[in-house]
Structure 1
Amino acid sequence: MKYKTIIPAIIMIMFVEILGCSQTSEKNDTMKISDSEKNIKIVVTDSGLGGLSVAEDIYHKINDTKIYDKVDIIFANALFDANSGYNRLTDRNEKIRIFNEALNGIEKNFKPDYIFVACNTLSVLYNKTEFSKKTDAKVITIVDYGVNLIDENLRKNNNSNVIIFGTKTTINGNTYGKLLVNRKFNKDRIVSQACPELQEYIEKDPKGEETFNLISKYVGLAINKLNNPENDLYASLNCTHYGYSNDLWEKAFNQHNLKLKGLLNPNSKMAAVLFTKTNKKIHKNTEIKLSVVSKVKLAEQNINSMSNLFKKSCPELSEALKNYQLKTDLFSF
């Protein structure tokens, strides 16, 4: 009788421990937050301001669900030089080293419970950092969400194709292509197109003529690589900046006489990791603090452009960006 009582208890303890161990960046879809976690600190990071859209999505969903008492959402810009960027570095190991320092700085300064790497360029580097091997924070990267979204749509029609648009680092690493081929998709269905400097144009003016011209240029280059342009076509926006210009992407494809089956943007998928069906609204109100921090000084034009973009959809984020904290010692490199 004694053993019959003890054994179920041991099994229950093991089950709880397994749930806790499942919270890794490689198993985003299984991550579960306990209702007992009332106060959390979340850092969203990017190599620019594209990840602000992920911070906005997290803000709204937490505010709607009210499963936490207090939440601190910090957007930490991982850009190391206002006149340069990760995609301008030619040495991949140097990119990894600098991003590792940025992550160390984020953990040291903010001690977050969660780090959302809302940047494809940095996400493809994350598993190579020393930080990934030692951190206690739960780190969520965007690549898996992007691959899942492409996978979900390509399976609807075996004759469909996808164009993957991204930065040079994302495309040159062929991370998306390799992961999709590993899932048994024929490589002939996948076209990858690097879009150098596009994220910079989008930050300055996401709806502008120069931005459109650059998008149209890259769309034209990508279309020329298609083996079967008559097939259903998806465009996957695998840089968090690109979604700010959704209308321009659709306009560019129309200009090239191609109608998209779908424009795929994984930005809004990342926040799902914070919620499960078992979560309940347990607070009348959730106190949410939203802030923006950057190691480098942000260009006034970029601040105005991005803050105007969020003015209606998330005025709290718009104000946080306009009043961002310049923290030059955020990390060293």
Structure 2
Amino acid sequence: MTKIVVFDSGLGSLSIIKAIQKISKSEIIYFADQENYPYGKKSQAQLSKIIQNSIMLIEEKFFPDFIVVASNTPSLMLNVTTKKIFDVKPPLQDAKKKSKTKQIGILATKSAINSKGLTQYIKENNFSKKFNILKINGSELVDLVESGKFISNKKYCNKIIKKVLEHRLSQNNIDVVTLSSTHLPFLKSLLKKQYPKINFIDPADIIATKIYLKIKNKQSKKNSLKIFVTGDIKKFQTKLNKIGIKKKVNSLSS
């Protein structure tokens, strides 16, 4: 039986968990670090301390086979990848293949957009000079998901999506956008409705495939999910209930 811990500061992990469970069977611990939400507005020093402490806590409490840092922000700002730890980064090679205009948008949190890590990551992907990569601050869109407004107030969400994206997309002839916060796939249907000609890429399937290749010969008989949270349990339980998840939420502290 393989045990995987998937964590970030809130609901974003669910997009990764859903993709993992679609193609493999494992015991998944979902850890929502609500006490430190949002990661996307933290400095590199703050994030480094938070992620180190979280990984130590996860190792101590759960003894996992694998850990997924299900947030683009620390994945870009910190070097966390090991044989045991997976991170989530913008799927730029996929975007490169799919873009016809050679104008690509990276929609991510404020901290990720401003990080040296993202600049370096773009360089590592070896784009020719014909490509233009536009970084777009999507922190307001992340908040739409975490607050549950993407379910309760779609009209308001459409207004914020337009405010954040309209000018950037129309001025730059962008035809591919990477959803580079794991919260953003929850908005994919709204994004596609407003911008039907743009290809919005979710990296969740890429991560799920990487994990499947590691565990394919030692899968569990069925999928299981346990949820742990720092901070206000009742508040997070309410968030999960809004999106149809009725599972018990457990407290986790060091």
* Fold equivalence (TM over 0.5): yes
In 1, Cα distance between equivalents of 2:85 and 2:130: 30
**Structure 1 position 113, deviation (Å):** 0.7
> Given the superposition, is the C-alpha separation of residues 277 and 140 from structure 1 closer, same or farther in structure 2, using an over 3 Å criterion?
closer
Deviations 1:32-60 (A, max 9, x none): xxxxxxx2110011121111121122123
User: What residue is the counterpart of 2:150 in the other structure?
Assistant: 206
> Given the superposition, is the C-alpha separation of residues 279 and 289 from structure 1 closer, same or farther in structure 2, using an over 3 Å criterion?
closer
1 or 2 for the larger relative contact order (CA 8 Å, sep ≥6)?
Answer: 2
> Given the superposition, is the C-alpha separation of residues 116 and 277 from structure 1 closer, same or farther in structure 2, using an over 3 Å criterion?
closer
1:288 aligns with 2:240: no
**Of 3, 7, 10, the match for 1:48:** 10
Query: 1:216, 1:253 within 8 Å by CA — same for their partners in 2?
Result: no
Query: 2:77, 2:118 within 8 Å by CA — same for their partners in 1?
Result: no
User: What residue is the counterpart of 2:69 in the other structure?
Assistant: 117
Aligned residues, how many? Answer: 248
> Given the superposition, is the C-alpha separation of residues 138 and 216 from structure 1 closer, same or farther in structure 2, using an over 3 Å criterion?
same
In 1, Cα distance between equivalents of 2:215 and 2:157: 43
Structure 2 length as normaliser, TM-score? Answer: 0.85
Runs of 5+ in structure 1 lacking a partner? 1-38, 64-70, 309-317
User: What residue is the counterpart of 1:217 in the other structure?
Assistant: 163
User: What residue is the counterpart of 1:326 in the other structure?
Assistant: 251
Q: Percent identity over the alignment?
A: 22
**Structure 1 position 147, deviation (Å):** 2.8
User: What residue is the counterpart of 2:211 in the other structure?
Assistant: 274
**Structure 1 position 294, deviation (Å):** 0.5
> Given the superposition, is the C-alpha separation of residues 287 and 184 from structure 1 closer, same or farther in structure 2, using an over 3 Å criterion?
closer
In 1, Cα distance between equivalents of 2:160 and 2:251: 31
User: What residue is the counterpart of 2:60 in the other structure?
Assistant: 108
1:248 aligns with 2:200: no
- Say which SS state the counterpart of residue 182 (structure 2) adopts: coil
- Say which SS state the counterpart of residue 4 (structure 2) adopts: strand
User: What residue is the counterpart of 2:29 in the other structure?
Assistant: 74
User: What residue is the counterpart of 2:40 in the other structure?
Assistant: 87
**Of 146, 162, 187, the match for 2:91:** 146
Give the counterpart letter for 2:175 in structure 1. Answer: L
Runs of 5+ in structure 2 lacking a partner? none
Query: 2:41, 2:111 within 8 Å by CA — same for their partners in 1?
Result: no
Structure 1 length as normaliser, TM-score? Answer: 0.66
In 2, Cα distance between equivalents of 1:218 and 1:118: 23
Query: 1:50, 1:119 within 8 Å by CA — same for their partners in 2?
Result: yes
Superposed CA RMSD in Å reads 2.8
User: What residue is the counterpart of 1:265 in the other structure?
Assistant: 202
Give the counterpart letter for 1:151 in structure 2. Answer: K
